[in-house]
Amino acid sequence: MQLERGLIARDGQRSFSRQSADSGLRREVYELQRLPGKDDKETEKQLLRLLHLRQELAKLRGYPTWTAYAQRDGILKTPDKINAFLSRLLDALRPGVESDLKTLSVFGASSGLLRDAKGLDPWDLPFLLRAYSVRTPDGSTGARSISIRDLLEGMQSVVERLLGLRFVRAPTAKGETWHWSVLRYELHEAPSSRASRLFSFSPSSSASPPSSSLDASSSSLRGVLYLDLWARPSKTRLLAQFTVRGSKRLSYAHGQGWRLGGPLWLSAVQRLSREGAASEDEASATATVAVEEELRQIPCAALVCSLPPPPEVDMTQPTGPDVDRLLEATSLSASLTRSLLHECGHVLHSLLSETELQHLSGTRGAVDFAEFPSNLFEHFSAPLLDGYLASPTGRARPALGSDGRGKACNFAHLGALQLLLHACVDQAFYSFVPGVSELPPCSGDALAPSPPPEAVDAQLAALRGCLDTAFSRHHWLAGDPRPGVTEQPICDVVGRPQMARFEHLVHYGGSYFCYLLCRVMSSFAWQHAFAKDPFDRETGKRLHAILRRGSIDCSLRPILELAGPGVLSETQKEQLLNNPHLLPVEPFLEELHADDASAAAELPFP
């Protein structure tokens, strides 16, 4: 059967790759997917120009490359340390990757699905991964589910038990939200927790905004969250947290008499006061004396996703059914639950920030630090899904993977390797400095001189060669085949990232490694601080202190503080602060071995 490009849509190609037992057909589909099209070639030219402009911008700012500039405020800080971290992780992943590939090869041969004695080919992986997950279920593949209502209740319990905070659902004012299904939640701090912190609510004074906007009900308000959960026409399909309003102090501007806004501003401001020394009077020993008033802008965030609503609900109508029915009727897989918890980590980071300036509140910092809280909160999926949290009614939550069957291989090492290969390509891409005279003109610039096509092609060939070195310097990735497993280099079996289809080169230029770094950091913190008791209040206080600082300290120090006392000596801490790329990766590797078997169905293969 001869296939032509464009005959099968991308979704159809994906389906063929995963389900067709015809090895020849899978190979044709794979080769069609890898064949560069006209759009890919144009994209590569524009990426080359983008690379040139970013390298020039970095040099103007005193940095040798864009990567060096992009990581100036990050945890790893330099390209050398980034590459050292990636190399360490590649070496650490090798045994697990080879074991995963051998497991797939043996499974394919024993089941008769893999008839080629040479072993695995690139077009075999998606097919065998799906076949393995179907033939060796283990009860944790997401066949059972959790409702959004249960997830929200569980998250409320996590926040209350760990951080001493409360997520309270609140009514919305007329015209406040953009759709009838959008929910408003308020994050409140319990008085007992608030009393032990730096700021406390103070009665209004004539120098402050009108008391009507600062009544006692807002005294514990830390932030506002809007939940926009269900799909509707023209809505983004992203699952993401968006910062609507950042945290910042307003006292100086207000004291100067500057006009800061109208009613919207007044409703988003909280008056706080610094606590002074305790009274000497024994009867009021627990009282505090306000010595300085502060105004704080209350942060606000939106968590947006596009979950399918029940078929009988028309989301295009101006009104709809009771939202509680939607919360109960909408179910989440284990994978989607983990993704929503990831975004909840971003939400808490945004809402708990108490920074002086809003440009460093919440996630508005170095990306390799901003992704840490979100990756940390993914770990709560296990306590939630395994039924560790009881609902307010006392009933046990639905448990995933609790039927007693043994765990199957989860192939999580292959998923981690995919991320690593993309991170290596990202670093290699931004280490290349194009020649100015051989650059293609900007799109739409008809007056710009165009270099000869062969000159542009030569630059692109040189760039591709640079990307290939990201793999060739690691012999186990690009070297000898594994007899009985595969006759091809591992990086080819798993799939080399294609430059034109790697959109993160634009959005996360020089920073794609942060996904893996944050997973390593969160695994380290979880193992040492949360594993024994995910809801320990002392650990929660340390986490709260880190989140309050927003992204001011984008270093390894907050992660080491969160791990707790006694985990590392002062000498070890100092060594890691100076060499953050040496952070232990063993907790991350242990989690790969224990990951939910649903990972096999979620790998990012084409």
* Structure token digits, residue 398: 């639905």
Which of 62, 132, 350, 379 has the alpha carbon at shortest distance from 222?
Answer: 350
Strands (E), 388-437: none
pLDDT of residue 450: 66
pTM: 0.83
CA distance 489 to 97: 12
User: What is the domain partition of the chain in residue ranges?
Assistant: 36-139+409-437+451-605, 148-192+219-272+292-390
Which of 300, 302, 304 has the alpha carbon at shortest distance from 352?
Answer: 300
* Structure token digits, residue 449: 């001189």
What average pLDDT does the structure give for the chain? 81
Under 8 Å CB-to-CB from 26, ≥6 apart: which residues?
Answer: 16, 17, 20, 123, 124, 127
CA distance 346 to 246: 13
Q: For residue 569, which phi and psi values (nearest 5 degrees)?
A: -75, 165
pLDDT of residue 210: 33
Which of 279, 491, 530, 534 has the alpha carbon at shortest distance from 384?
Answer: 534
Buried b / exposed e over 475-495, threshold 16 CB at 10 Å, is: ebbbeebbeebbbbbbbebbb
pLDDT of residue 560: 95
Under 8 Å CB-to-CB from 1, ≥6 apart: which residues?
Answer: 24, 25, 28
What is the CATH number assigned to the segment(s) 36-139+409-437+451-605? 1.10.1370.10
In contact, 243 and 363? CB cutoff 8 Å: yes
Which of 174, 305, 147, 339 has the alpha carbon at shortest distance from 232?
Answer: 305
Cα–Cα distances in Å, from 525 out to 183, 274, 306, 373, 377? 32, 31, 31, 10, 11
How is domain 148-192+219-272+292-390 classified at the CATH fold level? Collagenase (Catalytic Domain) (3.40.390)
* Structure token digits, residue 100: 């995963």
* Structure token digits, residue 123: 């077009």
pLDDT of residue 193: 54
Using left for φ > 0, alpha for ψ between -120 and 50, and beta otherwise, residue 348 falls in alpha
* Structure token digits, residue 574: 């100092």
Using left for φ > 0, alpha for ψ between -120 and 50, and beta otherwise, residue 546 falls in alpha
In contact, 423 and 435? CB cutoff 8 Å: no
CA distance 86 to 420: 7
Sign of CA dihedral 105, 108, 109, 115: negative
Q: Give every residue of the chain whose pLDDT is below 70, as ranges.
A: 1-13, 16, 136-144, 190-219, 259-267, 271-293, 387-409, 437-450, 595-606
Is 368 strand, coil or helix? helix
